[in-house]
Amino acid sequence: MLAYIVRRLFLIIPTLLGIMIINFAIVQLAPGGPVEQLIAELSGEAVGATERFSGGGSDLGQQTDPGAGDKGSNTTYRGARGLDPEVIKEIERMFGFDKPLHERFLLMMGNYLRFDFGESYFRDRRVVDLVIEKMPVSISLGLWTTLLVYLISIPLGIAKATRDGSRFDVWTSGVVIVGYAIPSFIFAVLLIVVFSGGRYLDWFPLRGLVSDDFDNLGPLQQVLDYLWHIALPVLALVIGGFATLTMLTKNSFLDQIGQQYVLTARAKGLTEGQVLYGHVFRNAMLIVIAGFPGAFVSILFTGALLIEVIFSLDGLGLLGFEAALNRDYPIMFATLFFFTLLGLLMQLVGDITYTIVDPRIDFESRET
């Protein structure tokens, strides 16, 4: 197992590098980089994220490479007319765009290897400090959602497997299909309309993770206030996430129930509970439990993005969303690097979890 872990750790390096190169190249092709953003502010023009795709080619200029500041006067920016060329060069130097594209990428990756993620272009703060500040919100959503999804999906999947074809199975399948069909952000909007003063009831707050007077509340009141605020966002994420895991649990149990060792166990006189939880459970839950690390990372860093935006939760998802709109490259690339690295490590943790759940699995024979 040790040799397999070492191989996987070495494989992370080219995988991470490839992801960073592809995303770095794609971002450079997107119009409206940070230089153009600042020029628009200086010239008094409002440049929106979608506005940059229209407005005429002559006004947009020939900025096919926002980072190619070494082109000098050949590079033009929207709104740059009337500005001193020396001012534009100084803006490019301030953002590091006076260097060639490949040099900027190598410099960025060298800093990242030292876990130096730089400072935000427009927030004037270190990226690490911003991530640490926003992390508790996203971790709260990820932990509660993952916990509730597993607590609901596993018992429900087992019950559906043991009652396969029954009326209970049919009705719960309908609920699962509805949960799978409705995106979490659509359900979040519905929850706001119904329970947050949108049209009907006003039971839950519309925004924020805690109340404004949170620090003045007692310990028990703080816990209740926190749960009051996080209830609807977590519920929206749970509805969108429990369907897949429920069906995975059911199908895994059905597959194991039909195996020969189950028939042998029943022939020996074991009760149905002993067969189900003493033999079937361990094998059936292998794929479910081993997928926990990946499921947590997925909910934490991808599924919660729109939920944070809808409920105005100041977490990593909202931070990344604003960074993408503002072309705040340090935040965009630093969070991409960190979370990609974390995701790759979680995949390795998932493989290790396989061996813990079932020691018969041996990854040493694998070549990767």
Q: Are residues 62 and 145 in the same domain?
A: no
**pTM of the complete model beyond 0.85:** no
Question: What pLDDT, on the 0 to 100 scale, is given for residue 142?
Answer: 81
25 within domain boundaries: no
pLDDT on residue 92: 73
Residue pair 195/232 in contact by the 8 Å Cβ criterion: yes
- Judgement on whether residues 300 and 334 belong to the same structural domain of the protein: yes
Mark which of 52, 84, 116 sits at the end of a domain: 116
Residues 207 and 288 both lie in one domain: yes
- Looking at the structure, do residues 97 and 142 belong to the same domain, yes or no? no
Q: What is the pLDDT of residue 56?
A: 38
Low-confidence ranges of the chain (pLDDT < 70): 31, 37, 40-84, 198, 290-291, 293-303, 357-368
Predicted pLDDT of residue 360 = 65
Q: What is the pLDDT of residue 74?
A: 40
Q: What is the pLDDT of residue 69?
A: 39
Domain membership of residue 329 (yes or no) is: yes
* Residue 12, in any domain of the structure: no
Q: How many CB atoms lie within 10 A of CB 13?
A: 10
Q: Which residues of 101-137 are buried (b: 16+ CB within 10 A; e: fewer)?
A: beebbeebbeebeeeebbebbbbeebbeebbeebeeb
CB atoms within 10 A of CB 97: 23
DSSP state of 83: S
Last residue of a domain, one of 89, 116, 143: 116
Q: How many domains does the chain have?
A: 2
Inside any domain, residue 210: yes
* CATH code, domain carrying 286: 1.10.3720.10
> Are 48 and 145 members of one domain?
no
Q: Are residues 189 and 301 in the same domain?
A: yes
Enclosing domain of residue 65: 31-116
Q: Are 228 and 196 in contact (CB under 8 A)?
A: no
| Same domain flag for 35 and 167 | no
pLDDT at residue number 205: 84
SS3 at position 126 = strand
As a whole number of angstroms, the distance between CA 365 and CA 343 comes to 24
For 270-317, write each residue's pLDDT tens digit: 787 778 777 787 777 777 776 676 666 666 665 577 788 888 888 887
Query: What is the spatial distance between Cα 101 and Cα 26, in angstroms, rounded to a whole number?
Result: 12
pLDDT recorded at residue 214: 82
Whether 112 and 135 map to the same domain: the answer is: no
**Within a domain: residue 123?**
no
* Domain boundary, last residue among 86, 116, 146: 116
Check whether residue 135 and residue 95 sit in a common domain. no
Q: Is residue 298 part of a domain?
A: yes
In this structure, are 194 and 334 located in the same domain?
yes
Identify whether 1 is part of a domain. no
Spell out the residues 6+ positions from residue 6 whose beta carbon is closer than 8 angstroms to its own: none
149 lies in the same domain as 88 = no
**Are 153 and 107 within one domain?**
no
Q: What is the pLDDT of residue 51?
A: 42
> What's the token pair of residue 299?
């909910």
Whether residue 320 is contained in a domain is answered as yes
Distance CA 131, CA 225 (A): 24
